[in-house]
């Protein structure tokens, strides 16, 4: 279970790193870890007057489409 959680964190971080390559503002993560309950805690350096959105996926790959379906967890 811990390997899957770490793999999911790595996938999310690599996805977010790809967004910065497309002209987005640079997102600097200061920490990422899994709690004992299995939740993921992300920390980042925020900038004033910027809006952040945290998305999640129920699975790494949707077997019907072959892509990741992202759901909004938190905005602002």
Tens of pLDDT, residues 4-40: 555 566 556 655 555 544 555 677 889 999 999 988 8
Q: What does the pLDDT look like over 36-71, one tens digit per residue?
A: 998 888 888 888 887 888 888 888 887 788 888 888
CA distance 64 to 4: 21
Q: What is the DSSP string of the chain?
A: -HHHHHHHHHHHHHHHHHHHTTTPPPPEEEEEEE-TTS-EEEEEE--TT---EEEE-SSSS-TTTSS---EEEEE-
């Amino acid at each position: 279970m811990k390997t899957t959680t770490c793999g999911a964190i790595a996938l999310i971080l690599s996805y977010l790193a790809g967004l910065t390559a497309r002209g987005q503002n640079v997102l600097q993560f200061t920490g990422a870890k899994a709690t004992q309950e299995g939740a993921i805690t992300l920390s980042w350096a925020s900038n004033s007057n910027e809006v952040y959105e945290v998305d999640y996926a129920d699975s790494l790959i949707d077997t019907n489409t072959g892509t990741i379906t992202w759901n909004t967890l938190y905005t602002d």
